[in-house]
Structure 1
Amino acid sequence: MVRDDLYITVPSFFRCPISLDVMKSPVSLCTGVTYDRSSIQRWLDNGNNTCPATMQVLQTKEFVPNRTLQRLIQIWSDSLTHRVHSPESPTNAESVPSKHQVLVAISELESRTDNRLDSLEKIVHFARDSEENRDFLVRTECFVPVLVGFLDNVNDGTRRSVEFIEQVFTALDLVLCKTEDCEGLKKSMLKKQSSIDSLLLILQQGSLNSRIASARVLKSIAVDVESKLLIAEKEGLISELLNLTTPEQDPDLIENCLSCLIAISAPKRNKMRLVHLGGVKVFSKLLSATNTSVSVTEKVLKLVEAMSSTKEGRAEICEDAACVAAIVNKVLKVSSVATEHAVTTLWSVCYLFRDQKAQEAVTKANGLTKILLLMQSNCSPQVRQMSADLLKIFRVNSKSCLSSYDTKTTHIMPF
């Protein structure tokens, strides 16, 4: 009697496209298709000059050993041996899948449509278990391309469809830090707008963890100016990221969305888009919140500084006295990074562009005292110079209250 638990499913990409047997010595042609060495050599020796799978004419008949696939086949083979010799091992639904089971699940992702969600959940469970498992998945050369391929096929937005795409982003997030070819991943995801549609869908409808995962994936593909512009052009994407950075949201979600916005906002066009979508007001509320972490504060101030480099951003900041006051309040007692971003923004609007409203808001928020105290601290030379520039502005401002410091606090005056 044949035991059901010894039924063996061979991953499809382990089979030679010619012989359909498990490859013993996998080699790749110039077309990128892998065959067993003996099968493809026999094909070429018979006078053929095309790739059997694609029928492309071969520019060269040379092939290279696919060492990665050979190692995976060996791992799979070893796992089968262990499985046969340990039939008494119980199957626990909550246990971490074996490498053999994961390779089968990857094969099912490619070949089946009815049970893909279960297969993907099994793979995610495996990936979450250890660094070694994540390394294994990345070495499985077809895995990441298969995941990215699913992002091109968002269908009706039903709950099951959303759940599947959530698992795709969760899996991508788990292995991205191990992926060396970030440029290739970026090209794959941005080649079709539907990949970004999938990402926006999860930001809008996904669970907390899947939203965090999708934001991290988005940050990972925003690697150059071209990708940043393409991402920002997706209608509703930046707006949704801003919606997810309001004080009432989960702190981890806020932080990851802010990191994503920082990655996207480098081009001037994207900074202006951020301003027009109400970024200043959103960030002002975050800075004014009482429970904002140091890391979130630093990221918000970095974004405010970025927006202050545009004319539109400076106008919004200067019109919002609450925003200026919130920036002033973060000059001290947060971190050196926060101090630098805050002072740079104040220097930009008050000194470089001499905005009267911003100067008045700084004075009203007791900014002069903070700047004076900052100059007596162990701040960087750049921050010290910007602080000195700010003080010069306020000294010549007839409405400034700085004159009181000439008599009462002359011992800390920088000049």
Structure 2
Amino acid sequence: MRSPVSLCTGVTYDRSSIQHWLESGHDTCPATMQILSNKDFTPNLTLHRLISTWSRPLTVSEREVGVLIDKVGSERESETTCVDCLVKIAEFVSGCEENRRFLARYCGFLDTMVGVLRRNSVEIVVSESVVRVLDLILIENGVKEKLNGLILKSNNNCLSSILKVVHKGSLDSKIKSIKLLDSISVDNESKRQLAETEKLLSVLFDHLKTAEDQKLDDAILSILITLSATRSVKTQLVRLGLVQVLSNTLWNPKSANPNIEKAIKLLSMIVTCSEGRSAVSEEPTCAAGIVERIMKVKKTAREDGMVVVWSMCCLYKDSRVKDAVVTSNGVTKMLLVMQSENEGIVRRMSGDLIKVLGKDNKYGLGVYDSKTTHIMPY
């Protein structure tokens, strides 16, 4: 396919092929056999760009890649030469799937890349280029596991170089370096080691607090979920002010749904420690934000949100959270949740919440003025 065009049915064909079909007397879409209301073509510009990118000749051959890797690994080469070589390697990897596999299997390639990050006082522009190349091959089998061993078992310079990119690199480099760290967190030991890396959590939190970019926030929330496996990490994040930041994410109308769902997931992990529960109790907009979003997220996030609200209201009987839930029209939302779930833990938790919130007049359904008349909880 060289010149992709779409018919009125939305199906895309090569222009010469579909023209031949129609000129042969057909008046249907070949894929769907629908009769065409018109025979106009609409150029598929997105697919055309993808085809052009895929089919353009490679500027670097497999043989030349070996030479480039040797230059990158040589400390005698200048910073400019190193970056130029890494740019060419990235172009080669981006060329096609076969190139990516070739580079991932190339003997000594990953060792060379990590070796550059280990160097004393490596320039950030070089680290950014290395991170970009590594990001392109992370999906290949065994790469994450090997990088885990190379990065986490090397000297501290390696993590320091990546952290510098997280802290001061370009937006795209920050995202890629965070994803790199997240991908090498393959077991509890690596998660612990990364969480204990000096200033990593605080740098991640500072970026999240300033809400620079939705994609950056998504990467940060993902790695925080990965690292929040121990009580010490949860406590540290709570002390940094994570609950307030997550609450802001829930209430921010510009927050993307995946970020909202990850924020709720993090809160469900935070409330498993006493410091986290205290922070949720002291931040009244947090529970209210979960209630506000509870019917607008995917099922897994709805369960995470119910865990937070149920834990605070039913298990720990926090009066401030109860007030926040009721004030934010929470009883109606719990009824909606119950109606949407035929069975399972979420339905049981919503039933428990309705009972708890209806025990006395303060939270009772008798004094609750709901406009929702078609929902019956029992």
**CA distance in structure 2 between the partners assigned to 1:324 and 1:106 by the alignment:** 52
Match runs of 1:77-92 below 5 Å: none
**Equivalent residue in structure 1 for 2:140, among 152, 172, 178:** 178
**Equivalent residue in structure 2 for 1:289, among 252, 258, 267:** 252
**Equivalent residue in structure 2 for 1:339, among 274, 298, 302:** 302
State whether residues 165 and 202 of structure 1, in contact with CA within 8 Å, keep that contact through their aligned partners in structure 2. Answer: yes
Say whether residues 1:98 and 2:61 are aligned partners.
yes
Say whether residues 1:307 and 2:270 are aligned partners.
yes
**CA distance in structure 2 between the partners assigned to 1:346 and 1:407 by the alignment:** 20
Superposed CA offset, 1:343-388 (max 9, x none): 1110111111111111111111111111011111146511000101
Q: TM-score, normalised by structure 2?
A: 0.79
Match runs of 1:31-46 below 5 Å: none
Say whether residues 1:150 and 2:116 are aligned partners.
yes
Task: Name the residue aligned to 1:131.
Answer: 97
Task: Name the residue aligned to 1:113.
Answer: 77
Match runs of 1:224-263 below 5 Å: 224-246=187-209, 248-263=211-226
Say whether residues 1:374 and 2:337 are aligned partners.
yes
Residue 271 of structure 1 aligns to a residue whose secondary structure is helix
Match runs of 1:23-62 below 5 Å: none
Residue 236 of structure 2 aligns to a residue whose secondary structure is helix
The structural deviation recorded for 1:407 is: 10
The structural deviation recorded for 1:271 is: 1.5
State the AA in 1 paired with 2:313. Answer: C
Say whether residues 1:213 and 2:183 are aligned partners.
no
Superposed CA offset, 1:53-72 (max 9, x none): xxxxxxxxxxxxxxxxxxxx
**CA distance in structure 2 between the partners assigned to 1:219 and 1:259 by the alignment:** 8
Task: Name the residue aligned to 1:51.
Answer: none
Deviates more, 1:120-129 or 1:351-360: 120-129
Q: Percent of counterpart pairs with the same letter?
A: 38
The structural deviation recorded for 1:198 is: 1.3
**Equivalent residue in structure 2 for 1:327, among 285, 290, 311:** 290
Superposed CA offset, 1:155-201 (max 9, x none): 0x6xxx10000011111111111141533321221122222211210
The structural deviation recorded for 1:208 is: 1.1
Task: Name the residue aligned to 1:17.
Answer: none
Task: Name the residue aligned to 1:24.
Answer: none
State whether residues 246 and 285 of structure 1, in contact with CA within 8 Å, keep that contact through their aligned partners in structure 2. Answer: no
Superposed CA offset, 1:24-79 (max 9, x none): xxxxxxxxxxxxxxxxxxxxxxxxxxxxxxxxxxxxxxxxxxxxxxxxxxxxxxxx
**CA distance in structure 2 between the partners assigned to 1:238 and 1:163 by the alignment:** 23
The structural deviation recorded for 1:337 is: 2.4
State the AA in 1 paired with 2:206. Answer: N
State whether residues 247 and 289 of structure 1, in contact with CA within 8 Å, keep that contact through their aligned partners in structure 2. Answer: no
Say whether residues 1:269 and 2:232 are aligned partners.
yes
**CA distance in structure 1 between the partners assigned to 2:200 and 2:274 by the alignment:** 23
**CA distance in structure 1 between the partners assigned to 2:370 and 2:116 by the alignment:** 70
Task: Name the residue aligned to 1:163.
Answer: 125
Say whether residues 1:187 and 2:149 are aligned partners.
yes
Change (3 A) 1:287 1:411: closer
State whether residues 73 and 113 of structure 2, in contact with CA within 8 Å, keep that contact through their aligned partners in structure 1. Answer: no
The structural deviation recorded for 1:103 is: 1.4
The structural deviation recorded for 1:283 is: 0.8
**CA distance in structure 1 between the partners assigned to 2:223 and 2:370 by the alignment:** 48
**Which runs of 5 or more structure 1 residues have no equivalent in the other structure?**
1-93
Q: Who wins on radius of gyration, i.e. which is larger?
A: 1
Say whether residues 1:398 and 2:366 are aligned partners.
no
Number of residue equivalences? 318
Task: Name the residue aligned to 2:15.
Answer: none
